[in-house]
A and B are shown apart, each in its own frame.
Chain A
């Protein structure tokens, strides 16, 4: 069984704006090892921007990201990936022209060390690596129950399965921290249940710390240990699911927004 540990990721005073639009204003919160931390809030609240700051796709004007005690004024995606942060995307961002296997294999790229010449002759280390990582990728495919589509180009898959492949690609990195941006958006009840189960299993079996953005309140309350609430780029609530649910400011924000 997992046991929630120390703070692994700490965000301090993050402010981010695009031209005149303030996406995030002075946000601070932390994430503990092995927990499931949810970020909720109405549309345009700044949730996705927050994930983009964590893994360095966006550079905040103010504040810093502290990862296992290391301070990053400017994170960048490559360093974040090396440090064990993986993510999935709100709008699908798979490699459309590639098969399911290749998409997930690509998630292993940081672990593959053969150089271009070895790959070109498909000999020695390059061939061994392809085999070893393929075996690992097949484990992920089994775990996500997508054996039947492993060779299909992802562009041809229905939406729900594409979301699963997106998760598979992130899992292939064997991340310590997994950022999930609305993994269940647009799914039917059954698909949502499957996805919830995968997320819980990842958290449980591998101890992966999870930061989850989700609109479905039922799912959030079921899955998460602690919840941050954003509204118009500001933090208006932070605590256990029960605390957040009864927080008057949160209730107001959700009633005010059309949901």
Chain B
């Protein structure tokens, strides 16, 4: 009886078009965001920042990018890692080749380069879909893996593409402590999540979803598939490019192409499937789940084994991790394609009626 919209009558379409039309949702999200900015920094130690929170923030941004393309526009991609790599290496080149290039500008420019590359590799989507499109994007992945390993100009002649960035600075604020890195990533994620939400609730997002749901009908009402699909590739790749640059600059500091391999592409796709396709919130759920699960299993499985007198090795834990992911993905694909986000909203619907069963 606490969570409900009774008595909250909308007197204008503007009020009804808000991101969170229900007041309780609005307050809850504001509280979470505020807590993330001012609460967590006081509560968390360095290890947690490094091992969980920073990777979570960056991967959530990347998952958001994948979700815009896969979940909202219905175009499959296995090349997400490649677009992260393009963003990271492009940002690196802007930073080292142009004197006085601010770090944030380099990261955003990396995103723009990734967007352009995304448009080029999105062109096959105008002709093919499903499995064939997956193959085409996989080709992008292999091409960029190869390019950053072999074309030395991209990596400033570094052997095997391993490069590094140091002394991150934003308008005189030097970002080196984990807490500063965390706040920097959090700020960018909050901003880009808001922009993504706005895109998906306006004309562009409706065009993407129309193409996803029924492309012939979309064309007949004047949506041009080329424009809709390539814009989705561009925006998605921009997000991935920025996330890639952050992963390299902020999280790793020094990296090589393997940081953005096919494994990364699959990991991001799994986040979107588990978290919820076509849901901004789902991207966060998925990223949190995939970042936290291995760490949780690492602690939990050996403890569980200990209870029954069994020794579980590290290898055993990582096998278990694969099996659990596999099972979850099959479960979500078959039973709940809208992922954790849908389970969450069904739960809320129940709560809205509680304590009455109907």
| Chain A positions near chain B (C-beta within 8 angstroms) | 55, 57, 77-78, 80-82, 86-87, 89, 93-98, 102, 105-110, 112, 114, 116, 119-122, 126, 129-131, 134-135, 138, 169-170, 173
Contacts and interface: CB of A to CB of B under 8 A. Distances in A.
Contacts of B32: none
B231 A116 contact: yes
Contact of B220 (A55, A116, A119, A135): A55
Residue from B13, B196, B212, B224 with most neighbouring chain A CB atoms (10 Å): B13
Contact of B214 (A55, A78, A94): A94
A93 B35 CA distance: 44
Interface of B: 13-14, 17, 195-196, 198-199, 202-204, 206-207, 209-210, 212-214, 216-224, 231, 235, 278
Contact of A81 (B203, B207, B220, B231): B220
Nearest to A114: B203
Given A120-B199, A130-B17, A106 B278 contact: no
A72 to B, nearest CB: 16
Contacts of B278: 97
Minimum-distance CB pairs A-B, first 6: A81-B222, A95-B213, A93-B217, A119-B202, A77-B219, A110-B222
Contacts of B220: 55, 57, 77, 80-81, 86-87
Contacts of A129: 203
A119 B198 contact: yes
Given A130-B202, A134-B17, A95 B210 contact: yes
Contacts of B213: 94-98
Contacts of A120: 195-196, 198-199
Contacts of B14: 131
B352 to A, nearest CB: 13
Contacts of B204: 116, 119
Contacts of B219: 57, 77-78
A119 to B, nearest CB: 4
Contact of B216 (A80, A93, A122, A138): A93
Contacts of A130: 17, 202-203
Contacts of B207: 106, 109
Given A106-B206, A126-B202, A89 B217 contact: yes
